[in-house]
Chain A
Amino acid sequence: MSHSSTHDRLVYMANQIGKFFQSQGRDKEVAGVAEHIKKFWDPRMLKTIYAHHDAGGEGLDPAVKDAIGKLKDAAVAKEKA
């Protein structure tokens, strides 16, 4: 495999995380993905994926997209506070 850019790789990684939490039951899916990304991704990775989400989030699986949206909203809210 060669992901053409870090950007593509982050989308791939996020979906990979999504696939694991998908099997953990509906209620845990979005929260699980969000928690995992928050716990392990560095700020520049988050920034890149948020920007991708803002631009429509192409390629992100629906639950993963939801999770990243939630994380982004929380980060924005935290910044405002």
Chain B
Amino acid sequence: MSLIHETDYGTPLSKSEKMVTLTIDGQSITVPEGTSIMRAAMEAGTQIPKLCATDMVDAFGSCRLCLVEVEGRAGTPASCTTPVAAGLVVHTQTERLKKLRKGVMELYISDHPLDCLTCAANGDCELQDMAGAVGLRDVRYGNQGENHVFADACGEANPAWLPKDESNPYFTYDPSKCIVCSRCVRACEEVQGTFALTISGRGFDSRVSPGMSESFLGSECVSCGACVQACPTATLTEKSVIEIGQPEHSAVTTCAYCGVGCTFKAEMRGEEIVRMVPYKDGKANRGHSCVKGRFAYGYATHKERILKPMIRETIDQPWREVSYDEAFTFAAQKMRGIQAKYGRDSIGGITSSRCTNEETYLVQKLVRAGFGNNNVDTCARVCHSPTGYGLATTFGTSAGTQDFDSVEDSDVIMVIGANPTDAHPVFGSRMKKRLRQGAKLIVVDPRKIDLVKSAHIKADYHLPLLPGTNVAILTALAHVIVTEGLVNETFVRERCDWSEFQDWAEFVALEKNSPEAIASISGVDPEAIRGAARLYAKGGNGAIYYGLGVTEHSQGSTTVIAIANLAMATGNIGRRGVGVNPLRGQNNVQGSCDMGSFPHELPGYRHISGDAVRDQFEAMWNVKLNPEPGLRIPNMFDSAIDGTFKGLYVQGEDILQSDPNTSHVVQALSSMECVIVQDLFLNETANYAHVFLPGSTFLEKDGTFTNAERRIQRVRKVMTPRNGLADWEVTIGLAKAMGFEMTYNHPSEIMDEIAALTPTFTGVSYQKLEEMGSVQWPCNEKYPEGSPIMHVDGFVRGKGKFVVTEYVATDERTGPRFPLLLTTGRILSQYNVGAQTRRTDNVVWHGEDVLEIHPHDAEQRGIRDGDWVRLTSRAGETTLHALISERVAPGVVYTTFHHPLTQANVITTDYSDWATNCPEYKVTAVQVSQSNGPSDWQKAYDEQARNSRRIAPIVEAAE
């Protein structure tokens, strides 16, 4: 294996379909119109020297190194800013150019330190490469005189010199090495869209400045790493490279954080990871990254990782480290014993949305075929299960309709209950890029999220609805579309069931669904709803992106249906730039759903009661399957408390921290006789576990993840599992001990079995993924290259189905005791329950969960910024620090759930979606009051956790 070098073409690809032929250095080359001469030359195999150009950002023309001569034109134009034209004759190397370039390089080097041997960029420095390329042999100006390089000049402090900024935990900024090429500034603007960097001063005083000459950490910088990647010198350098040195080999793999599924090169030295660099050919991220995927991988080698299996009889005992075999036997005896005593249906499993498709598939196979029941569920239950129900009902398949590239063709973007710049940052950046190009934006969210207004972005409509009123708002949007004659009737007649449409149209047109009628419920200005509806219906390609603010409600499924109705009514389905796009929370939520993790359906979303489908699986697995649906996670908890559910195998999921109403979950887990937790760390659920099986990270195994655009991508092993086994091997070991043999030598064999059993996957294989890089399902005989966009010629279910969406208020109501509404979410630097990100330097951005509260509500309660406050609901109470903020409306408070000490889910209730039991995390009636510090509950919880995490010392036999 060697280091993967990606070609830098200098300027971005032109999308023009018109081709132009020119001659460069005697070679004829044909490229799309709008291509730069620099890029055309590179495509022909000639690298014109360059410093300020890179193909991730637009041409800038500042370094004057890429000069060329064009026959018939005067002067020496910069090849990066000069577009090709038919018949041009270009020379890239002439006596005149050689002299000019050498002169330019001399000036650069005269103000650059010559510590190349000890420089972190040694081996990866474009300045050094260019000095070599132009044949620089001496620097006539010397290295003294006015400079940015030395702290002292002639015994006096050099005013032009600035010290290194090491404030960011992951990279350093060394101003002495800056050549002011502006690549970092442009990457921050064009790729990331944060505009945190600028060039301050002019002429010789020019320098990169985060914000107004702040430190990187103190500025608006979001630490995405785009600037570091763009930097041609050691000015911006990963601290890991400074510490370790340059990598020597790399592998392309997929990030294990959010549902965007960014492709990275894991750059290695031996089995040590040097850095993660976003891969330009990655079709989800197109060479971009965020602070999590780019930098927060240190948890893989964190000292708290548990590397040995452990068991105990009861949860008040300390853990005892044992061999895998002993742990498997112990677990198998317990689980089989429970089944013998309480019946076959008394145990179950939870698959992980963080593990690979192959691993998820094996866990559900173990439950269905090994346990002999269908008690299998996954964390999608608590996030996107309503998407499954809603989109399957209306369109016929349970997935987003577009690829991420599609946003480049959107004219109107509607974001509902999602905060892409924090939770799906790389897609958020791609969306912002399109918005800066002029696409219109509608934000439906109770909070003023960054998209509502940030640098060069402003929502055309923000509908700040009261949490819990999604269905009312979406039906009101439909009301406007129908009553103002904005329906795309041709599309509806052609693609959808016309009589169902008519029923629906009649319903939404009712006066009770008008924006004016629902104003008092939703708190949204009716005129804004009308404007937004008109814009979405008639503004060109309209795309809807939504998140958990849609699904995690009593009416989550109804809201998804309402979104699908809107898209169908306006004809915004089945081509680029439009569609209905759920932004998935975790890296493999889509995959875990596809792989049959729900208790009622086998892989490929086929109901377990179907005889033909079951026959197929029974033949392959050689067992008889149970035709009845199994328990969903909340039902498992209820049954545990009732005493009919006693054993649970949980892979890579912290149900105690992530599921609602923590005390209910504690009660359920304490009622079980065998809880098996497979994870990287002793998570909160493990406090109630009897068997701990160590997990492996995405760096330590082979497999595939499927992202929010249905894209199946490879995860490649770059280091030996520190715990000895990959997760799929652990499941096989447990299954074997339970008497259910599964034989696979490699995850590719598991994928072959999935492909053989799942109609939407028949064309998927590791071979195919090698060839194509990635593929979007359905991938089968009909779509051999996969399906970037779905429902192109018609809906999967045949005719699109309109369904009436009546608003039903949640039973979680505010009142005198609980007058505020709590809604929850995520922050950029942390991920989910924080098990991974809390064990990285990302904690510098978010060390604890805080409560965002509007100044008005805070003042009424005498709460100041930073105060400890008590947050109480009908379910429980916790304490945390207050952050006074106008991002939330009066009457609404907001927090995240990344930290176990806060346990935000002590507060959330067990109300859930009517169709899928997805918990109503987004609406809890609460009261906020002053507090002195952690609640008794928090203290007791912390003590139990400490006690439960004890590991018995290994007693050495005396000699």
Contact = CB atoms under 8 A, between A and B. Distances in A.
B630 A42 contact: yes
User: From DSSP, what is the main secondary structure of chain B's interface residues?
Assistant: loop
Interface residues of B, number: 41
A38 to B, nearest CB: 8
A56 interface: no
A80 interface: no
User: From DSSP, what is the main secondary structure of chain A's interface residues?
Assistant: helix
B606 to A, nearest CB: 12
A1 B664 CA distance: 11
Contacts of A40: 600, 629, 632, 915-916
B629 A1 contact: no
A8 to B, nearest CB: 10
Interface string A63-81: 0000000000000000000
Contacts of B632: 40
Contacts of B507: 23
B910 interface: yes
B914 interface: yes
B914 A19 contact: yes
Contacts of A16: 554, 914
Contacts of A1: 811-812, 874-875, 909-911
Contacts of A2: 661, 664, 874-875, 909-910
A2 B638 CA distance: 12
A17 B911 CA distance: 13
A20 B554 CA distance: 11
B772 interface: no
B804 A23 contact: yes
B356 to A, nearest CB: 27
Interface residues of A, number: 23
A13 B916 CA distance: 10
A40 B392 CA distance: 14
B124 interface: no
Residue of B635, B644, B812 most packed against chain A (CB within 10 A): B635
B387 interface: no
A45 B874 contact: no
Nearest to B554: A16
B554 A41 contact: no
Contacts, number: 73
A2 B910 CA distance: 7
Interface in A36-51: 36, 39-45
A43 B344 CA distance: 12
Nearest to A10: B638
A44 B644 CA distance: 9
Contacts of A13: 914, 917
B322 to A, nearest CB: 34
Residue of B804, B805, B909 most packed against chain A (CB within 10 A): B804
B919 to A, nearest CB: 11
A42 B631 contact: yes
A24 to B, nearest CB: 6
A45 B808 CA distance: 25
B525 interface: no
B848 interface: no
Contacts of A5: 642
Nearest to B608: A39
B629 A3 contact: no
Interface string A8-31: 010001001101101111000000
What are the 9 A-B residue pairs with the smallest beta carbon separation, nearest first? A23-B806, A16-B914, A6-B638, A1-B909, A42-B631, A43-B628, A19-B808, A23-B804, A6-B642
21 contacts: A1-B911, A2-B661, A2-B875, A2-B910, A3-B910, A6-B639, A6-B641, A16-B914, A20-B914, A23-B804, A23-B806, A36-B915, A39-B600, A39-B607, A39-B609, A39-B629, A40-B632, A42-B374, A42-B628, A42-B635, A43-B345
Interface of B: 345, 374-375, 503, 507, 554, 557-558, 599-600, 607, 609, 628-632, 635, 638-639, 641-642, 644, 661, 664, 803-806, 808, 811-812, 874-875, 909-911, 914-917
